[in-house]
Amino acid sequence: VFGGRDSGVSETTSRVFLESAYFAPGGIRRTSRRHGLQTDAAYRYERGADPDMCVYAARLAVKMLCELAGASGVSAITDVYPSPVVPYALNFNPSCVTTLGGVEIHEDIIANLLRYLGIQADTTTKPWSLLIPPFKHDVRAEADVVEEVLRIYGFDKIPIPAQLRIATDHRDEDVLEILQRRACNYLTARGFLEVHNLSFEASGEADAIKVLNPLAVETGFMRTSLRSGLLKNIGYNLARQEKHLKFFEFGSVYRQLSMGHEECEMLGLAVSGSHSTPHWRSKADETDVFHISGWVEGLISAVVPGNFLLKRIPVDNGLTFHLNGQKIGVLNLVTDEERKKYGLKQNTFLVELSASVLWECASGARVRFEELPRFPMVRRDLALVVPNSVTYATLEQLARESGGEFLRDVEIFDVFKGGELEADEKSYAMSFQFRSFQQTLSDRQVDEAVKHIYITLQQKAGARLRSGVL
C-alpha cells in the first residue's frame, strides 16, 4: 500500500534489496481502506495481478538497474512460491458466442483465439473444458470468455440486425411514484433542476450511521440530511459563474436510533440568486423567503388534492411548515459559517421537507371535481388593523371558517405599517371572492357573508377596520 520511511531509497543508498511479490487483493483493499491511503500500488494490487510474473519482473528490474544505474554484484534469486496458483477450470459452450455475442463464429476460429489468449481449451468434450491462466483473473464465467473472444475477433465484425427485439417490462406506477412525478413536474415548471447526490458524508452528526467498510474517507457516514449535498451543488455552480440557481432533490436520510436505524424520504430545495431570468426590461428580483414559501405552498397544492391547512411558523433565520397539524419541514437562510464552508458568495435558501409526511397527507386526501362556473364572481376588499402578533395565516383560516358556502378564495394584496397606526399594530388589505354555482349572488348575500367574516375576525383576532364602517 505504502512504502516505509526507513526502508526507502535515498541519494546515498548503495545496496538495494529487491522484492517482487504478489499480494492478495482482499488484504490490500482492507489495509488501504483502514489507513485511508489511496495509492497507485494499492489500486493495482487490489484489482488483481499475475502471480507468475514475480520472477520475470525481478529480472527486468535488475536488468534496468544494471543498464541505467550502473548496478553490479547481483545475487541469485530466491524464489518463495510454496503454493503455486493453478489455472482456473471452466466449462464453456461455444454456442454462447452466438447467443450472447450475436455473431456466428466457427468453432475452430474460437479455439484458435482462445489459444492466442493463453487459454487452454479441450475441444474434444462438450462443453469445452478451459483452463484460465492466472493473469486472466477477471475471466470466471462463460460471458467473460465470450467477451475475450469478441475483443480479439473484432466488435466491428458483428452485424447489426435489421430488427431489434427488446423485451419490455411494463408495470403501472404506484401511488408514491405518481405523487413524486407531480412534485417534479411542478418544480421543473418553475425553473428548478433535479440533482442526485451520494447518500454518504465525510463526517457525521451524533446520530449518524458509520459505514463499516467505506470506499473512501469522504464516504464514511450515511447522510442525515440533504443539506450538505445541495450546498455543494450551489457552491460548485457559483464557482462557474452560474449566479441564478434553483435545485431540488429527492433522497433518503439515515439516523441511528436507540433500537436500530431509521430511513426517511426527504425533499430538499436550494435556491440562490434571482427567482426569475434577468431581462433587459426589468430588474433582477432577488429570491426571498416569500418566494420560496409560495413555491412550497404551490408544491403541496400540486401534490395534495383538495383543501389542506399549511401553517408557517417563524423561527430563527427562517420558517417551519406544518401541514394539517404535522411538522413537514423547515426553510432556512444559509448561515455565514456555511457560506464560507461551501464557497457561497451570495444569499442561499434551503428547504428540507419530509416527503414521507407529504405522501401521507396526499394519500389520505380525496380529489374533488367541480364544473366550470357559469355565474360571475363577486369581490369584496377589507383593510383590517390587527396587533403585530396576529399573522395573516390566522386571519385567512378564520375567514375561511366563517365565510359561508359561497366564499371561494381569500387573498392578501397589501401590508402597511406606520402612519396613523400604533407601533404595535399593522394593517392587512384582504380580498374575499364569492361565487355560487346555482345563481348570481345578490349584494345582500355577499354583504352578510362579509359582515360575518368581519365580526369573527374582530372577536377572535382583535381586528378593526382601518377606516370607515362596514
Q: What is the CA radius of gyration of the chain?
A: 36
Indicate whether 217 pLDDT > 80. no
Determine which helix (DSSP H) or strand (DSSP E) holds 255, and give its type and residue range: strand 245-257
Q: Looking at residues 24-37, what average pLDDT do you find?
A: 81
Q: Looking at residues 49-77, what average pLDDT do you find?
A: 89
Closest CA to 395 of 460, 324, 468: 460
CA–CA gap between residue 228 and residue 199 (Å, rounded): 10
Kind of pairing between the strands at 245-257 and 193-194:
parallel
Domain 88-157 shares a fold with domain 378-465: no
Backbone angles phi, psi at 320, to 5 degrees: -115, 145
**At a CB cut-off of 8 Å and minimum separation 6, what does 445 contact?**
406, 434
Cell of 63: 536488468
CATH top class, domain 378-465 = alpha beta
Percent of the chain residues topping a pLDDT of 90: 53
CA–CA gap between residue 275 and residue 273 (Å, rounded): 7
> How would you class 12 by CB atoms within 10 Å of its CB: exposed for 0-12, middle for 13-18, buried for 19 or more?
exposed
Indicate whether 349 pLDDT > 90. yes
Closest CA to 121 of 84, 155, 94, 144: 94
Q: Measured over all CA atoms, what is the biggest interatomic distance in the chain, rounded to whole angstroms?
A: 116
C-alpha distances in Å from residue 388, one per residue of 32, 271, 320, 321, 391: 61, 29, 19, 20, 8
Cell of 295: 413555491
pLDDT of the residue at 173: 67
Indicate whether 34 pLDDT > 80. no
Indicate whether 107 pLDDT > 80. yes
Q: Looking at residues 435-449, what average pLDDT do you find?
A: 93
Kind of pairing between the strands at 128-132 and 193-194:
unpaired
CA–CA gap between residue 223 and residue 254 (Å, rounded): 6
Confidence of residue 163 (pLDDT cuts 50, 70, 90): confident
Q: What is the DSSP string of 21-70?
A: ----HHHHHHHHHHHT---HHHHHHTT---GGGHHHHHHHHHHHHHHHH-
Domain 88-157 has CATH 3.40.50.300: no
Domain 175-277+284-364 has CATH 3.30.930.10: yes
**At a CB cut-off of 8 Å and minimum separation 6, what does 40 contact?**
none
Indicate whether 204 pLDDT > 70. no
CA–CA gap between residue 191 and residue 195 (Å, rounded): 13
Kind of pairing between the strands at 221-222 and 245-257:
unpaired
C-alpha distances in Å from residue 212, one per residue of 33, 46, 65, 217, 222: 10, 18, 43, 12, 11
> How would you class 231 by CB atoms within 10 Å of its CB: exposed for 0-12, middle for 13-18, buried for 19 or more?
buried
Q: Which residue has the higher pLDDT, 169 or 227?
A: 227
CA–CA gap between residue 344 and residue 236 (Å, rounded): 9
Q: Global pTM? A: 0.65
Q: Looking at residues 139-143, what average pLDDT do you find?
A: 94
pLDDT of the residue at 240: 93
Cell of 211: 459505514
pLDDT of the residue at 213: 73
Q: Looking at residues 304-317, what average pLDDT do you find?
A: 82
Taking each helix axis from N to C end, the angle separating 289-303 and 355-364, rounded to the nearest 10 degrees, works out to 40
So where are the chain's domains?
14-84, 88-157, 175-277+284-364, 378-465
pLDDT of the residue at 185: 95
Cell of 169: 417490462
Confidence of residue 111 (pLDDT cuts 50, 70, 90): very high
Q: Which residue has the higher pLDDT, 8 or 364?
A: 8
CA–CA gap between residue 416 and residue 430 (Å, rounded): 12
pLDDT of the residue at 451: 94
Q: CB–CB of 434/442 below 8 Å?
A: no
| pLDDT tens profile 118-140 | 999 999 999 999 999 999 988 99
Establish whether the linkage from the previous residue to 127 is cis, with ω within 30° of 0. Answer: yes
The number of residues making up the chain comes to 470
Confidence of residue 249 (pLDDT cuts 50, 70, 90): very high
pLDDT of the residue at 212: 80
Q: Looking at residues 215-234, what average pLDDT do you find?
A: 87
Indicate whether 42 pLDDT > 90. no
Confidence of residue 1 (pLDDT cuts 50, 70, 90): low
Indicate whether 67 pLDDT > 80. yes
Q: Which residue has the higher pLDDT, 271 or 317?
A: 271
Confidence of residue 365 (pLDDT cuts 50, 70, 90): low
CA–CA gap between residue 215 and residue 202 (Å, rounded): 11
